[in-house]
């Protein structure tokens, strides 16, 4: 088994064996609050990269969004498909976030949770550039980021202050708040932040 988290086999083995300690098992409270306040209009086009088990898919769909989720691990994508429960406004793609042809692009919203930290730091600029390319100007990139300076992973945490240098050329941050310890998995506790970023005009 490879230990390269950029390789599909790395994730296939973990999902097949159900060794997924990052799996929250439901919709994180900060996202539930965001959706409850009606921040996204009905029909908003939402993308969830690296969707994993995909609990959030039905939450976005229930809020009236048109949801596309993607994961390059077939076992993960199959788990996510089971979450959809026939929702007509949601779909799961087995594919590569960096090369997939998203017919619904540009999106209005991209959701982040454990996607950035799943890949090595050398991939971060690619993730940000691809996210910016897929979002319309004024669109939102929001979710939960993991902050812990470490070269070992996954998860590969962001160093304090690193997000600004990574995102600020394409995005303006409009909300940044810690995730309450009771709302995090033990492994991430005290090191997660809910952040919202608006796509700048090119």
Residue 51 confidence (pLDDT): 94
Residue 10 confidence (pLDDT): 83
Average pLDDT, rounded, for the chain? 91
What mean pLDDT is predicted for residues 121-144? 97
- Between residues 199 and 21, the one the model is more confident about: 199
Per DSSP, the residues of the chain read ----TTSHHHHHHHHHTT--TT--SS--HHHHHHHHTT-S-TT-EEEEET-TT-HHHHHHHHTT-EEEEEES-HHHHHHHHHHHTT-TTEEEEES-TTT---TTPSEEEEEEESSGGGS-GGGHHHHHHHHHHHEEEEEEEEEEEEB---SS-SS-PBPTTHHHHHHTTTEEEEEEEEPPGGGS-GGGTTSEEEEEEEEPP-
Superfamily of domain 28-199: Vaccinia Virus protein VP39 (3.40.50.150)
Q: Is the pLDDT of residue 192 over 50?
A: yes
Domain chopping of the chain, boundaries = 28-199
Residue 84 confidence (pLDDT): 86
Residue 1 confidence (pLDDT): 34
User: The pTM is what?
Assistant: 0.93
How do residues 29-58 score in pLDDT, each as one tens digit? 999 999 999 999 999 999 999 999 999 999
């Amino acid at each position: 088994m490879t230990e390269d988290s950029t390789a599909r086999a790395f994730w296939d083995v973990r999902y097949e064996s159900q060794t997924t300690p990052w799996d929250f098992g439901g919709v994180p409270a900060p996202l539930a609050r965001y959706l409850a306040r009606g921040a996204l209009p009905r029909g908003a086009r939402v993308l969830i990269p690296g969707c994993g088990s995909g609990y959030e898919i039905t939450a976005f769909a229930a809020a009236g969004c048109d949801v596309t989720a993607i994961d390059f691990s077939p076992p993960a994508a199959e788990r996510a498909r089971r979450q959809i429960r026939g929702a007509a406004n949601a779909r799961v793609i087995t594919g590569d976030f960096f090369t997939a042809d998203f017919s619904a692009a540009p999106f209005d919203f991209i959701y982040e949770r454990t996607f950035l930290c799943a890949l090595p730091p050398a991939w971060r600029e690619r993730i940000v550039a691809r996210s910016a390319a897929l979002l319309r100007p004024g669109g939102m990139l929001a979710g939960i980021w993991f902050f812990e300076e470490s070269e070992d992973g996954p998860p590969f945490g962001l160093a304090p202050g690193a997000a600004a240098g990574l995102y600020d050329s394409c995005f303006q941050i409009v909300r940044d708040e810690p995730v309450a310890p009771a709302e995090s998995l033990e492994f991430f506790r005290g090191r997660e932040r809910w952040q919202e970023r608006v796509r700048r005009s090119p």
